[in-house]
Amino acid sequence: MDSVNLNNEHEAYEDPRSLYEIQAEVNAVLRNARIPCLVSGNMMKEILGYTTYVWHMDIILEDEDMGRAVKALREAGYNNHPKHVGCWYRNRFTDDFRRVPCNPAHVFHFQQRIWERRTRRFHLDLRLYRKSEYFWALPEIPLAGASENNRHYIWTDDPRLPRHHPEDRQSLGAFPYQMPPVMIPSPARVIEAVIRLKARDRKRPCRGRVWDLTLAHFMNVGTKEITPGGPSPIYGPLYDPDAFECIFREWWISELQADCIRSIDLPLQLEQRLECNELPEPHTAPADLT
């Protein structure tokens, strides 16, 4: 960790396979405090089999549980000092925080995970988000386990998730069986949430653009093989048209049958139907670092 290559835009300093263990520990703290939670962000994408970079750990909480979650994590020894050196959010919201596409409600720091971007060093952050901001259409997050019949939530050791050989990265695909699983939204609910966010934020340049890129990433990376000769992430019953809500089903079928990626430009009819629904306003307050 002493040598730093500043010419490398992205340089991780520790084995990324341990990220699953850290995520499981965080979720255990919250569930021991009887606080239901979901893993989201790039960690969720990795669990679903989408190759990406995990610079932060994102947790979705019911709005009313945010205060209890912050208290539980503080009591467990997690660091949330507002002036922590190397924090991505240290000066992030001093100018125009309304242009930031994803505002966490609270941020904690993992100093033991350092990464390099261009000429600056950052540590891994644990970011807490309000469910009403991103997954408002989902039912209440369950504290107990989600069964295979649950259309909204799945565990990270679900047999329907991609699973890799020991020589592959363990931070890609389902959790190892010996590791305590955590809960994530089902892939269909994630894709639907991104489309709803596109409809909500399409007139906000920064926010709308990030959902365009997110959906394009799902459709681009999701249709490529994870390992040579293996299936792509978009494969199996979790992505069947019946897994999607009726309003999205026709669009999803057309995407699966398309010869090229068309997800950036949703059908006008779907856009209009979503706009007719009541879409919540995005939360515009800066992250709470205190």
Mean pLDDT for 259-280 is: 63
Give, to the nearest 10 degrees, the angle between helix 246-257 and helix 187-201. Answer: 100
Give, to the nearest 10 degrees, the angle between helix 19-32 and helix 66-75. Answer: 110
Judged by average pLDDT, the poorest of 47-51, 137-141, 187-191 is: 47-51
At 33, list the tokens: 């405090």
Residues 6+ apart with CB under 8 A from 123: 84, 86, 87, 109, 110, 111, 112, 113, 114, 115
Helices (H), 85-174: 131-134
pTM: 0.81
pLDDT (tens digit per residue) in 12-48: 444 444 688 889 999 999 999 999 999 999 889 989 9
Q: Which of 114-128, 161-175, 202-216 has the highest mean pLDDT?
A: 202-216
- For the chain, the residue count is 290
Q: Give yes or no for a contact between 252 and 263, defined as CB atoms under 8 angstroms apart.
A: no
Q: Give yes or no for a contact between 1 and 121, defined as CB atoms under 8 angstroms apart.
A: no
The neighbour count for residue 118, using CB atoms within 10 Å, is 9
What does DSSP assign to residue 281? Answer: P
Domain ranges of the chain: 10-185, 189-276
Mean pLDDT for 84-108 is: 57
The neighbour count for residue 233, using CB atoms within 10 Å, is 24
Judged by average pLDDT, the poorest of 107-116, 129-138, 168-177 is: 107-116
Closest CA to 172 of 26, 17, 2, 41: 17
